[in-house]
Structures are given as C-alpha cells and as structure tokens.
C-alpha cells in the first residue's frame, strides 16, 4: 500500500493554498488526514511530543493513516559514548501510544557519520520496530549495510535532494521509503511516479514524503492517484 504526504502539516502559510484561509490551526490535521494518508514529523528529532499530543493526533486522523516519526537526534548525531540504545528504547515506548497510526521510524544519519554497521544494528534492534534509514554519507551504500537493514525489516531511504547523495533503489524487504525534497513539474515527477509504482507492486508498504512547501500536498495527492492501487476520491 502507498502512503504519501508531506514533512509536517501545521503551516499557517498553507492557508489559502492547501488549507482554507479561515481554517483554525487545531483543524489542520483533520483536514490534512481527509486528503492524504501519511505525514512525516520532524519535530520528534528534537523533542518527543507529549502523550496528550500523540493521542490527540491519533483521534484526529482516520483509520489507515500513518505518522512517520523522525528519531531523536541523539541516536545518530551525538557522541558514541551517549546511551543510544537506551534512548532508542525510550523513544519507541513513547511513540507507541499512536498504535496502528504509527508508521516506520525515520532514522537519519548526518553527512559527518560514515558507515558504522555495528551502530546501525544496535539502533535498529533497540527501536524494535520497522525503521527507514537515511544516510547522508555514501560510505553506507554497500551490501553489509543492506544486510543489516534487511535483517531488521527496515528500508533504505531514497532521498531526492541536491546536497545529499542519493541511495540506490534496493529491495530490502516489505518496506520502501522515499523523501522527495525538490520542487517538481509534471515532467520531473513522472520518473519518480514510475519508480514508486514499481515499489508499490513489490512491497507491502511504501512511504513517500515531499518537502514542506505549500504546493507539496497537491503533488502527494497526484502521486496517490497515479501510483496507488486506488485513486483518491476527493
């Protein structure tokens, strides 16, 4: 199944473009969830939302919606001496309250972090749930890395952004994850639609998230209509 959306949803500048001009901020997620079926949340990279916020998000969205939470930066950006395994377990415990609304965790590694499959293995094991690993240093792109991700039921994130190396399209199991971070025309989006169609045909779950731009919800809806198994109705 294809899940598509944007990185974040609470943007006042989207009023009059995606959201109705008079829509209250508290109603944004409900509106978003009626039109898109997934969202990537980057705020959890800095601070895990409180339980009350997570519960509120869950009740505002329909069955089948997915939240993809970006893992805390301490896991991948902090010094090795930091208790990363403990933090990973705590992070997973806190976000588990989302229940069946919880999608894969986004585990982002900085460009300064070169390949360390031992670290990757320990983090994926401690998270204890499907995760999508995004690498910003090309040393990670090898069979040893792919084997660790495959072992834990995860995905290799394919990111389309000029300043980062793009991961190859590698089938590692039932999960696929794309981050499309540019502005797209109909022509420039078409090759991605074809790649994502192929992923949908061979994976149980495919996630695609566009950058936080006011035109991105329309791109995500177009993708759902053209690459998903069912066309969007709204």
Lay out the sheet containing 155-160: strands in order across: 2-6, 205-210, 175-180, 155-160, 131-135, 105-109
Instruction: For residue 182, give Cα distances in angstroms to 146, 210, 215.
Output: 26, 8, 11
User: Residue 76: phi, psi to the nearest 5?
Assistant: -125, -20
DSSP 8-state secondary structure symbol assigned to residue 71: P
In this prediction, residue 228 carries a pLDDT of 80
Q: How much is the pTM?
A: 0.95
Tens of pLDDT, residue by residue over 2-43, are 999 999 999 999 999 999 999 999 999 999 999 999 999 999
Condensed to tens digits (0 to 9), the pLDDT of residues 130-183 reads 999 999 999 999 999 999 999 999 999 999 999 999 999 999 999 999 999 999
Domains of the chain and any CATH numbers: 2-227 (3.20.20.410)
Residue 229 — left, alpha, or beta (φ > 0 → left; ψ -120 to 50 → alpha)? alpha
């Amino acid at each position: 199944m294809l899940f598509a959306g944007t990185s974040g949803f609470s943007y006042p500048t989207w009023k009059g473009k995606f959201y109705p001009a008079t829509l209250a901020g508290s109603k944004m997620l409900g509106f978003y969830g009626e039109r898109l079926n997934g969202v990537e949340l980057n705020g959890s990279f800095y601070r895990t939302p409180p339980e009350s916020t997570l519960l509120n998000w869950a009740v505002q969205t329909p069955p089948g919606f997915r939240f993809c939470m970006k893992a805390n930066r301490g896991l991948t950006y902090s010094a090795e001496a930091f208790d990363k395994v403990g933090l990973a377990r705590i992070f997973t415990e806190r976000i588990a309250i989302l229940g069946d609304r919880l999608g894969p965790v986004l585990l982002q590694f900085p460009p300064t972090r070169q390949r360390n499959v031992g670290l990757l293995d320990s983090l994926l094991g401690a998270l204890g749930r499907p995760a999508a690993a995004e690498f910003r240093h090309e040393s990670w792109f090898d069979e040893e890395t792919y084997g660790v991700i495959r072992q834990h039921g995860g995905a290799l994130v394919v990111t389309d952004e000029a300043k980062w190396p793009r991961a190859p399209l590698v089938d590692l199991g039932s999960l696929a994850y794309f981050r499309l971070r540019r502005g797209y025309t109909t022509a420039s989006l078409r090759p991605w639609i074809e790649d994502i169609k192929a992923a949908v045909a061979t994976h149980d779950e495919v996630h695609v998230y566009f950058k936080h731009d006011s035109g991105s919800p329309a791109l995500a809806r177009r993708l759902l209509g053209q690459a998903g198994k069912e066309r969007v109705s709204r």
